[in-house]
């Protein structure tokens, strides 16, 4: 152990790596699946968009403000411990939010029955697969449904009575909006959902129903009523129409309050930890070892998202038998937050030094306003946040429409993160070959291609090939953005400028994309949303590549070249003085000033 453990760099980096790993696992337990849980609560796409937009908006402005206060009052460790401790309880508040349907019936934990159901729009028939354990054959023949039944309005409070009621037992946990009747031990039936003056009629096939007079016309986004491209829009419309004022008051408002409180406690953690560690390493001139810590966070997120999704199917029925799925995510989040809390006690925090007023953020903002290249880069990051938020919010909805499991969802996200880690050794050659502008263009093109591909998903596994492109559409794209910021920033404004781009511009774009995206999904469809984002990104890509070479290029003095100047170039002779690039630059600047 060193004589001064306060500056034990190896120990500090080891603790920091483990902290980033644990925080990555912690974030992956809930963040990718949060919108899916909100859907299970019964909230439609517009309300989910409002919740996620509020979450991004708080994170964009509250986190930098808390980081500033923590630095000003030298309370960084207090904020780290308080944030982790508060997030343990705040995350569990989401479990207490009541769903719109008190008995949603998203699953049956009874091993003898298996019910798979999703919610289509008003007037849309949905195939519900029901598998029951075979029972001993009775002494008398089992009754069968007649070929035709009278057409009428289906009751809204359950299924019709009559013969074969025992066959309806697997559907006893379905929502009250399901109507129809089921006969037999092994049946595949068509059941009409959302009984708003919808009329159904039996078909000659046993247990099958067809829509006679749907209450609403077909929504945009699909050729057939129950096409996957149309289901997400259908869910949004059906949920919006079916939300009673009482359900909206207690589910949406309680969800909003819980998420706001949770985000206020959680959002400052990452920035405060990064600032503290960077200043700790900067004090001993070891900031070069700071750049590789993000890999540990991605490794933790990859492991966490796969691990929690595997546990959900195994533990969900043991922890709760009513209410929506997904509570395992929040329990796992709280458990890992407790572990991160213990690690934060040993997390390296820079030595308290006398605080002096700093206006670096103001300088960074003025720098953005005065440089057209930074303005175009800021608009690019804003659009990236807008487009990326639509994927983060609703891609899992799209996969769920195709009967994807949460394990596949988690693996698809981890595939992109692992690809980003594997691509990192090629970061320098990629930026050298394509340049910063070319890499940004490549990343925007890949992101637009992903969005277009997602709008045509045909199966649950079809999302996996496109997720490999996330290594470029996220990883390489942000490498080019970071390199551009370092090139355009003035000394001392690199980190404030980078934090502004990631929090304010990217977070603001994600907030706007969430707010608008939910209503687009309800009004049109999820496929239309993805295609619209694809078109916007392609148009901006063409404009970006067109105007970037035409922007004024500032000629900066690169002081690092001073180290490469030969001794002969710095002689006292006039010839040596003329070869000194620094003297030339100073003379040119002086002559320009006099002129």
Burial of 423 (0-12, 13-18, 19+ CB in 10 A): middle
Mean pLDDT of 295-304: 94
Mean pLDDT of the chain: 74
Return the axis-axis angle of helices 45-72 and 372-401, rounded to nearest 10°: 130
Q: Are the C-beta atoms of residues 92 and 355 closer than 8 Å to each other?
A: no
The rounded percent of the chain whose pLDDT value lies above 70 is 64
Angle (nearest 5°) at CA 56 between 249 and 410: 95
125 has a pLDDT exceeding 70? no
Sheet containing 186-192: order of strands = 113-116, 125-132, 186-192
pLDDT at 423: 93
The rounded percent of the chain whose pLDDT value lies above 90 is 44
Q: In the 8-state DSSP scheme, what is residue 250?
A: I
pLDDT band at 17; cut points 50, 70, 90: very high
CA–CA gap between residue 38 and residue 100 (Å, rounded) = 11
pLDDT at 318: 66
Mean pLDDT of 491-507: 90
Burial of 526 (0-12, 13-18, 19+ CB in 10 A): buried
Mean pLDDT of 267-277: 91
pLDDT band at 365; cut points 50, 70, 90: confident
pLDDT at 103: 54
pLDDT at 567: 44
Instruction: Give the chain's end-to-end CA distance (angstroms, integer).
Output: 62
585 has a pLDDT exceeding 60? no
172 has a pLDDT exceeding 60? no
pLDDT band at 342; cut points 50, 70, 90: very high
- At residue 199, what are phi and psi to the nearest 5 degrees? -110, 135
pLDDT band at 352; cut points 50, 70, 90: low
CA–CA gap between residue 478 and residue 486 (Å, rounded) = 12
For 172-181, 296-305, 318-327, 410-419, which range has the lowest pLDDT when averaged over its residues? Answer: 172-181
Q: What is the pLDDT of residues 523-579, one digit of tens each?
A: 999 999 999 999 999 999 999 999 988 888 754 544 444 454 444 444 444 444 444
pLDDT at 286: 77
Nearest to 483 by CA among 446, 444, 432: 432
Q: What is the pTM of this model?
A: 0.74
Instruction: Please list the residues that pair with 127 across neighbouring strands.
Output: 190
Question: Can you list the alpha helix ranges (DSSP code H) found in 426-476?
Answer: 427-454, 463-467, 470
Number of Cβ within a 10 Å radius of residue 497: 24
Nearest to 83 by CA among 282, 347, 281: 347
pLDDT band at 18; cut points 50, 70, 90: very high
Q: What is the pLDDT of residues 194-247, one digit of tens each?
A: 332 333 333 334 333 333 333 333 233 333 334 444 454 444 444 444 444 555
- At residue 239, what are phi and psi to the nearest 5 degrees? -65, -40
Mean pLDDT of 93-98: 88
Q: Give me the numbers of helices (H) and strands (E) for the chain, helices first please.
A: 22, 6
Looking at mean pLDDT, say which of 133-147, 187-201, 261-275, 580-594 comes out highest: 261-275
Number of Cβ within a 10 Å radius of residue 26: 27
3-state secondary structure 275-293: HHHHHHHHHCCCHHHCCCC
What does the longest C-alpha to C-alpha distance in the chain come to?
117
396 has a pLDDT exceeding 60? yes
Nearest to 27 by CA among 259, 305, 213: 305
pLDDT at 353: 56
pLDDT at 589: 47
pLDDT at 513: 95
pLDDT at 450: 95
CA–CA gap between residue 309 and residue 29 (Å, rounded) = 8
Give every CB contact of residue 32 below 8 A, 6+ residues apart in sequence.
305, 392, 396, 409, 410, 413
pLDDT at 411: 94
């Amino acid at each position: 152990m060193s004589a001064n453990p306060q500056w034990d760099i190896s120990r500090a980096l080891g603790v920091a790596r483990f902290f980033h790993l644990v925080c990555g696992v912690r974030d992956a337990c809930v963040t990718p699946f949060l919108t899916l849980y909100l859907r299970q609560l019964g909230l439609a796409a517009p309300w989910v968009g409002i919740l996620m937009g509020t979450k991004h908006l708080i994170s964009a402005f509250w986190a930098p403000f808390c980081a500033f206060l923590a630095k000003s009052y030298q309370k960084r460790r207090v904020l780290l411990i308080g944030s982790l401790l508060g997030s343990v309880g705040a995350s569990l508040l989401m479990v207490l939010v009541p769903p719109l349907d008190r008995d949603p019936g998203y699953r049956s934990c009874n091993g003898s029955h298996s019910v798979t159901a999703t919610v289509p729009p008003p007037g849309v028939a949905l195939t519900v697969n029901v598998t029951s354990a075979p029972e001993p054959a009775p002494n008398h023949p089992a009754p069968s449904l007649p070929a035709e039944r009278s057409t009428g309005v289906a009751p809204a409070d359950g299924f019709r009575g009559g013969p074969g009621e025992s066959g309806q037992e697997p559907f006893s946990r379905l929502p009250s909006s399901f109507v129809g009747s089921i006969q037999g031990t092994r049946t595949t039936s068509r059941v009409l959902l959302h009984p708003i003056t919808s009329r159904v009629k039996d078909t000659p096939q046993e247990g099958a129903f067809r829509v006679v007079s749907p209450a609403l016309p077909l929504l945009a986004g699909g050729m057939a009523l129950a096409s996957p491209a149309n289901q997400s829009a259908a869910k949004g419309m059906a949920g919006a129409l079916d939300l009673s004022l009482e359900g909206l008051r207690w589910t949406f408002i309680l969800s909003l309050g819980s998420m706001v409180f949770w985000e206020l406690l959680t959002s400052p953690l990452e920035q405060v930890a990064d600032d503290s560690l960077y200043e700790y390493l900067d004090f001993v001139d070891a900031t070069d070892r700071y750049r590789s810590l993000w890999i540990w966070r991605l490794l933790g997120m990859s492991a966490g998202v796969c691990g929690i999704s595997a546990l959900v199917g195994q533990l969900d029925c043991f922890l709760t038998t009513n209410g929506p799925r997904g509570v395992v995510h929040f329990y796992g989040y709280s458990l890992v937050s407790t572990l991160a809390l213990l690690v934060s006690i040993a997390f390296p925090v820079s030595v308290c030094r006398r605080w002096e007023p700093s206006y670096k953020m103001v300088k960074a903002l003025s720098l953005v306003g005065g440089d057209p290249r930074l303005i175009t880069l800021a608009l690019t990051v804003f659009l990236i946040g807008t487009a990326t938020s639509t994927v983060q919010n609703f891609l899992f909805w799209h996969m769920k429409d195709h009967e994807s499991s949460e394990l596949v969802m988690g693996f698809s996200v981890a595939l992109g993160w692992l690809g980003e880690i594997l691509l990192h050794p090629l970061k320098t050659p990629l930026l050298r070959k394509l340049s910063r502008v070319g890499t940004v263009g490549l990343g925007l093109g890949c992101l637009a291609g992903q969005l277009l591909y997602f709008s045509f998903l045909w199966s649950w596994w079809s999302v996996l090939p496109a997720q490999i492109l996330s290594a470029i559409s996220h990883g390489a794209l942000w490498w080019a953005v970071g390199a551009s910021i370092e090139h355009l920033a003035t000394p001392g404004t690199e980190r404030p400028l980078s934090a502004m781009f990631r929090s304010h511009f990217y977070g603001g774009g994600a907030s706007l994309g969430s707010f608008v995206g939910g209503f687009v999904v309800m009004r049109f469809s999820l496929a239309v949303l993805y295609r619209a984002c694809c078109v916007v990104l392609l148009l901006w890509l063409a404009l970006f590549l067109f105007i970037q070479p035409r922007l004024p290029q500032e000629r900066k003095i690169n002081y690092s070249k001073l180290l490469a100047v030969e001794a002969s170039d710095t002689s006292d002779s006039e010839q040596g003085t003329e070869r000194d690039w620094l003297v030339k630059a100073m003379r040119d600047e002086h002559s320009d000033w006099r002129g």
